[in-house]
Structure 1
Amino acid sequence: MAITLYANTVEEALDRADSRHWTRPAPRSTRARLHFLARQRDGGLPALAAYLGTGENTLNQLLTGHRLPPEDSLHQVLEREVIRLWQPRIRRRAHHTILDNGGMMTVSFRAWFGFTSAAGSTDDPRLRFLTLSLRDPYPKHLFAARHRQAPEDELNRILSEALAACYFQRNGVPAALEEVTLKEIDYLEFYY
């Protein structure tokens, strides 16, 4: 089973980009994922069932060999949680290495992207597909926010600021913008 490398939230996209730096493969079977996730929670399987919003009996059935179809929402939640929690030290080490070497980060996205300029003119958000290189200090801000488990709104705001700094510039100088909005993300992928 292949892990999808793109997402529709900033949090998940950062986690999926981190998966390219793993030194060992993450658990792939449902049973292995459940064992790993249960060890991550105080209270084991009952606490995991409560966190996932499912019954403990469902998780016990999965541990005894019952299979989930790949399109099942529980299967997708388990995959997302494993990606979020797998090899945290490797993730932090990769982030430090990236930042120590110039902090290059590329983002590709398809989303409703709009802006408001300082002169008062506005642009209604349009569906755009863009690939941009984010400059310092934005990769650092994204990593720091992700390490402290910042909410999706904050991550989206940081990414919007970064996009404003790189997309709207004239002769290398960022344009004066009041706000950039990134809404209804359909596809988001980071490369670093």
Structure 2
Amino acid sequence: MVDLLGESLDRALEEAFTRPIPKSAQAQMKYLVKQLKGTRAAAQALGVSQRTVERYFAGKLKRPRRDLAARIEREVKKRWQPQIRSKAKKKAASTDGVVVSTRARFGFTAAPGTTDDARIRHITQALSPPRWAERLFDARDQGATENQLLQIAAQGLGQHYFRDNGRRAHDLDVEFTDVKEIEIGL
């Protein structure tokens, strides 16, 4: 399964960045080596040899293969502006919450042929009590799987969209499957 929700959480945090990541492969490699405290650790994180890292660091190699360029960029983004990333998480988890926009199959436990049958829906919903943002970010930081993240999102959508914060459909169990797309906004 594609890591849709996890990647979307990362992209949401990247929108809070105040400066762009380094552009050149050499600058990105220098940043990674500094953050990981050595060329050996950078090589392990990227899945390449230490000598390859040293060549990019020195500027002897300039244009990485497409897959290596993507790995370098991903590793740099993971570590870029950690204080800004932390502030964005804290703000979402304490005051703002998150907005979930998804196209997925939603359904409920019900008799066949009812309106509760699972069907593809496009839903955009603010999960405004910040506890949902906190749960999502905490789970992501602790290495939760995509399915675990989707379960948290399904609980939040069930509470806000389908049960209207406890005003209707009190015992409704939401089934959230066949996710086509999902995007998180802060």
**TM alignment of 1:134-153, pairs within 5 A:** 134-136=127-129, 137-153=131-147
Name the structure 2 match of 1:3.
none
Equivalence for 2:32: 37
For structure 1, which runs of at least 5 residues remain unmatched after alignment?
A: 1-6
- What is the aligned partner in structure 1 of residue 108 from structure 2? 116
- 1:81 to 2:87 alignment: no
SS at match of 2:15: helix
| Amino acid corresponding to residue 124 of structure 2 in structure 1 | T
Matched, 1:130 2:126: no
Residue of structure 2 in register with 1:188 after alignment: 182
Q: 1:21 to 1:164 in 2, by over 3 A?
A: same
Q: Which of the numbers 4, 18, 25 marks the counterpart of 2:13?
A: 18
- Structure 2 gaps of 5+ residues are none
TM-score normalised according to structure 1 size: 0.73
After superposition, residues 98-117 of structure 1 pair within 5 angstroms as 98-101=92-95, 103-110=96-103, 112-117=104-109
Deviations 1:33-68 (A, max 9, x none): 2222223335x2222222322333443444424213
Query: 8 Å contact 1:8–1:187 — kept in the other structure?
Result: no
Give 1:97's aligned amino acid: K
Structure ranking higher in helix proportion: 2
Normalising to structure 2: TM-score of the pair? 0.75
Deviation at 1:87, TM superposition (A): 1.7
Instruction: Work out the CA distance in 1 between the residues paired with 2:154 and 2:148.
Output: 10
How many corresponding residue pairs? 178
SS at match of 1:27: coil
Give the distance between the partners of 1:181 and 1:58, measured in 2 at CA. Answer: 44
| 2:92–2:134 Cα contact (<8 Å) kept | no
CA-atom RMSD in angstroms: 3.0
Q: 1:165 aligns with which of 156, 159, 165?
A: 159
1:51 to 1:186, Cα distance in 2 relative to 1, 3 A: farther
Shift of 1:141: 1.0
Identity %: 31
Answer whether contact 2:97 2:126 (CA < 8 A) is retained. Answer: yes
More strand by share: 1
* Larger CA Rg, structure 1 vs 2: 2
